[in-house]
Amino acid sequence: MNIHEYQAKRLLHSYGAPIAGGVAIYSAEQAEEWAKKMPGPLYVVKSQIHAGGRGKGKFKELGDDAAGGVRLARSVEEVVQNVKEMLGNTLVTKQTGPEGKQVNRLYIEDGADIDRELYLSILIDRTVGRPAFVVSTEGGMDIEAVAEETPEKIFTLPIDPIKGMTDADSRKLNRALKLTKDAAKDGMELFPILYKAFTEKDMSLLEVNPLIVMKDGRLRVLDAKVSFDGNALFRHDDIMALRDLSEEDEKEIEASKHDLAYVALDGNIGCMVNGAGLAMATMDIIKQYGEEPANFLDVGGGATTEKVTAAFKIITADPKVKGILVNIFGGIMKCDVIAEGVVKAVKDVGLKVPLVVRLEGTNVEKGKQIINDSDVDVIAADDLDDAAQKIVKAIKG
Ligand code: ADP
Ligand code: MG
């Protein structure tokens, strides 16, 4: 789960990280009211969407000459003018995809006097099985280019999760970021704070880009992007409360209500599969026969008829879906339960696209019987290969 920049900053601030003063607003009136209370003379108006690259992003409605999704303003009037231009419009960045994201909230922040922009993130480094800091002196808006063109400018420091973060670790980060004097002192405090927030809140990513050295020599967190491990959210009610459903895929929200492992994708073959491994294999084989899956969906081991029905409805509600492939290997999951769910869902919502079903394993005969006895228009398949070929052929008409 992701949260907005201003929420991430508040959270990091509660651990003691240095951030600028600021306020999230939803209207031009609110912007004016709050900006008047800010010290000035430099203000920054920042689009709050769950995607990075906002500074270099462009608003669809405003054309390429207009300023981007993060704007500097030098008076309250300029703040308000920018807010009016930005609110409600669609920001397209490298991370949003071409459709962009509608900006419904803005964050108005005190402007900082920037001397240097650095990059810092904490993530789980799977190669060493530990949390790791990734830092670079080349922070700001183009870290992807730095990683590609000058990878030697990126420094990685894995942290021993048992010992936790040590002063020696912080000193290494200071050295890598070329921090001295006050900035180095700030670093000794800030790095452990960020590590603590990362581990205590079960984050999967904490990215500060840029972390800045200000003209007065002090450090400040200027941008913050945080993702949380979805499997740990049950123990963080405070984080759950920050969820912004308008940023999430509607189908994924519906799936999460039914406890289904579902991820929306760009293709046009809807998949209903049990077991993550089989789901991956099914997606691969669809690609091998020249089509793209519309989703990943694992209905799980102990799915009920209700759950299968819900899953089927989510798949059919996607207008991109031109065909559906149900691929079930009944182990703990029984084929008759799947068959009942499919038949019930088709009766409830109808079937407007071809449906290929491959059932194997526990109660397979019973399952096939249920489908044959219904008047659902199913193309039966014998194995995975056969199923993939049949659905690809079916959608090509
Ligand atoms: P994004 O990464 O989505 O483009 P950032 O928050 O990193 O958004 O902002 C982009 C750039 O805007 C920063 O690299 C920095 O140069 C400038 N910026 C952002 N916030 C401030 C601020 N409070 N004061 C001064 N400049 C800022
Ligand atoms: Mg940034």
CB distance 210 to ligand 1 below 6 Å: yes
CB distance 44 to ligand 1 below 6 Å: yes
| Phi, psi torsion values for 131, nearest 5 degrees | -65, 145
CB distance 57 to ligand 1 below 6 Å: no
Which pLDDT does position 345 carry in this prediction? 85
Q: Are residues 133 and 65 in the same domain?
A: no
Q: Can you tell me which atom of ligand 1 is nearest the CA of 93?
A: 3
Q: Are residues 64 and 132 in the same domain?
A: no
Residue 119 annotated to the active site? yes
Residue of 44, 101, 110 with the most ligand 1 atoms within 8 Å of its CB, for mutation: 44
pLDDT along the chain (397 residues), means of 10: 96 98 96 95 97 95 93 97 97 92 96 97 94 96 87 96 97 98 98 98 98 98 96 95 87 87 92 92 95 92 81 90 93 86 86 92 92 89 93 91
Q: Work out how many domains the chain is built from and give that number.
A: 3
Contacts 24+ apart (CB under 8 A), 261-264: 261/296, 261/297, 261/298, 261/300, 262/295, 262/296, 262/297, 262/298, 262/311, 262/314, 263/295, 263/296, 263/297, 264/294, 264/295, 264/318
Domain-embedded: residue 2: no
From the candidates 5, 138, 207, 291, give the one annotated as an active-site residue. Answer: 207
Which pLDDT does position 175 carry in this prediction? 98
Residues paired with residue 356 on neighbouring β-strands, in sequence order? 325, 379
Distance in Å, CA 143 to ligand 2 centroid: 9
Question: Rounded CA gap, 36 and 33, in Å?
Answer: 6
Which pLDDT does position 40 carry in this prediction? 87
Q: Are residues 202 and 310 in the same domain?
A: no
Q: Are residues 268 and 171 in the same domain?
A: no
Specify the CATH number for the domain of residue 106.
3.30.1490.20
Domain-embedded: residue 153: yes
Residue 207 annotated to the active site? yes
Both tokens of 326, joined, read: 């149900």
Q: Are residues 128 and 101 in the same domain?
A: no
Domain-embedded: residue 11: no
Specify the CATH number for the domain of residue 128.
3.30.470.20
DSSP 243: -
Q: Are residues 131 and 36 in the same domain?
A: no
Distance in Å, CA 378 to ligand 2 centroid: 50
Domain-embedded: residue 180: yes
Q: Are residues 170 and 34 in the same domain?
A: no
Domain-embedded: residue 75: yes
Question: Rounded CA gap, 350 and 90, in Å?
Answer: 34
Q: Domain boundary residue among 80, 110, 140?
A: 110
Q: Domain boundary residue among 239, 272, 297?
A: 239
Specify the CATH number for the domain of residue 354.
3.40.50.261
Which pLDDT does position 234 carry in this prediction? 94
Q: Are residues 355 and 314 in the same domain?
A: yes
| Phi, psi torsion values for 87, nearest 5 degrees | -60, 135
Give the list of residues 6+ apart from residue 103 with CB closer than 8 angstroms, or none: 47, 48, 49, 59, 69, 86, 87, 88, 89, 90, 91
DSSP strand pairing (114-125 vs 203-214): antiparallel
Distance in Å, CA 125 to ligand 1 centroid: 27
Instruction: Give the residue numbers spanning the domain of 120.
Output: 114-239
Locate all alpha helices (DSSP H) within 201-334, ordered by sequence: 237-240, 250-257, 276-288, 305-316
Residues listed for the chain: 397
Domain-embedded: residue 8: no
Which ligand has the nearest atom to the CA of 209?
2
Domain-embedded: residue 12: no
Domain-embedded: residue 270: yes
Q: Is 345:386 a contact under the CB 8 Å cutoff?
A: no
Give the list of residues 6+ apart from residue 168 with CB closer than 8 angstroms, or none: none
Distance in Å, CA 210 to ligand 1 centroid: 7
Q: Is 295 assigned a ligand-binding role in the annotation?
A: no
Which ligand has the nearest atom to the CA of 68?
1
Residue located nearest, by CA, to atom 9 of ligand 1: 55
Q: Are residues 168 and 63 in the same domain?
A: no
Q: Are residues 173 and 221 in the same domain?
A: yes
Q: Domain boundary residue among 88, 110, 132?
A: 110
Q: Is the pTM of this model over 0.85?
A: no
